[in-house]
Amino acid sequence: MDRIRITGGQRLNGVIPISGAKNAALPLMIASLLTDETLTLTNVPRLSDVSALSRILSNHGVDRSVAGKRIGQSAETGQTVALTARQIVDTCAPYELVSTMRASFWVIAPILARMGEAKVSLPGGCAIGTRPVDLLLMALERLGATIAIEGGYALARAPKGLKGAEIVFPKVTVGGTHTALMAAVLADGTTVIENAAREPEVVDLAICLEKMGAKIEGAGTSTITIRGVSRLGGAHHAVLPDRIETGTYAMAVAMAGGDVLLEGARADLLQAALDVISQAGVEVSETNEGIRVRRNGAALEPVDVTTDPFPGFPTDLQAQLMALMTKAKGTSRIRETIFENRFMHVQELARLGARIRLDGDAAYVDGVEKLTGAPVMATDLRASVSLVIGGLVAEGETMINRVYHLDRGFEALEAKLGRCGAQVERISG
């Protein structure tokens, strides 16, 4: 099993290209099931989750082709993927495939909308919380589907097609909003989604669906209106830049010090996080090429942050911020309100010398003079990259185990950091 070794103490200087967003690419790929024509996606990141979803879509009959590299492309630049579901050959998504990635459960919506039935394995538990699918199934029921749970599978049926309806989510749910959107675009009549997720990845999916012929209004607000159409066509769409990768590398620069251009990044996708980084005493500026992050000797200031749905501070940057605050001059308070059990990285950061106290949904981080390298274990995707951030300044060597978590969400991480001066190395086997 691969490991990553980091020798701390190096400043970061240079350019880091920002990849396409994993959390946008996955629902966009799933949307290919809605049409028998080709959906071509550019700026698709090279990640293990993308590869896993490709295998799942292939099981349903989706043909996939990847364009060859062009001049100037590298392993750090997005790929172009063409997806064609001329015929859905299997309406069942089995456990052995769905269990590898929770987002694959979302295939239930386009398969049901197009075929009138779908059988999808329940995804099971998760290291950072249960993330139940009840709200996703509720949305489908509101559109006229009958849902049964049998043998660990969700069986959805709508033999006469889905019908437009009002869907009111009791809490903001990105997965539920993705599911409702993909089901409603082929429903008969008008659907209104209330308390919809406002995340940029939801907007990106809506834009792509509109290119395919869907009629959607209000994406990016809490009320989305969809007028169903009888069929969708193919389209070309570029995946938006990854705001979580952007925030992660911004915090890496803030931690190690230096001057880095995050090439292709968009500030509007993560303004709340950039504001927090600025409050910590780091210089953040938007340029024509992306976002520039600089810290040259200034001490890090403590912050008080609560995770919230977009446009608030993202839960997917909570672990990275906690790592950064281990070097602040004072005590920071970080509240996690989105997922339960998302403080599993605390005990691993403590192995590097961090001083963190937990009290319910809040973590209190007392800044320390130094971190010291140690062997640590990644528990999930975002936790694993928080250990990378800590390792960048830890004295000596930090060895991060179970880095397959990193490969799910960070494209060419070692190459991107290494080119900016970090001493980071992947050790295979």
Structure tokens at 62: 């989706």
Check whether 338 is labelled as a binding-site residue.
Answer: yes
Query: CB atoms < 10 A from the CB of 196, how many?
Result: 27
Q: CB-side exposure of 427: number of CA atoms within 13 Å?
A: 11
Check whether 135 is labelled as a binding-site residue.
Answer: yes
Question: Tokens 């659907």 sit at which residue?
Answer: 191
Check whether 133 is labelled as a binding-site residue.
Answer: yes
Is 208 an annotated catalytic residue? Answer: no
The sign of the dihedral angle between the CA atoms of 277, 279, 24, 385 is: positive
The catalytic residue among 92, 126, 208, 420 is: 126
Contact 211, 237 (CB under 8 A): yes
241: β partners: 20
Check whether 163 is labelled as a binding-site residue.
Answer: no
E strand or H helix at 89, and its extent? none
Check whether 134 is labelled as a binding-site residue.
Answer: yes
| CA dist., res. 54 & res. 104, Å (int) | 10
Check whether 83 is labelled as a binding-site residue.
Answer: no
- AA identity, residue 2: D
Residues 6+ apart with CB under 8 A from 61: 85, 86, 87, 88, 89, 90
SS3 405: helix
Query: CB atoms < 10 A from the CB of 219, how many?
Result: 24
| CA dist., res. 211 & res. 233, Å (int) | 8
Check whether 23 is labelled as a binding-site residue.
Answer: yes
Check whether 202 is labelled as a binding-site residue.
Answer: no
| Known binding residues for UDP-N-acetyl-alpha-D-glucosamine | 102, 131-135, 316, 338
Which positions are annotated as active-site residues?
126
Binding-site members are 22-23, 102, 131-135, 316, 338
Binding residue numbers for phosphoenolpyruvate: 22-23
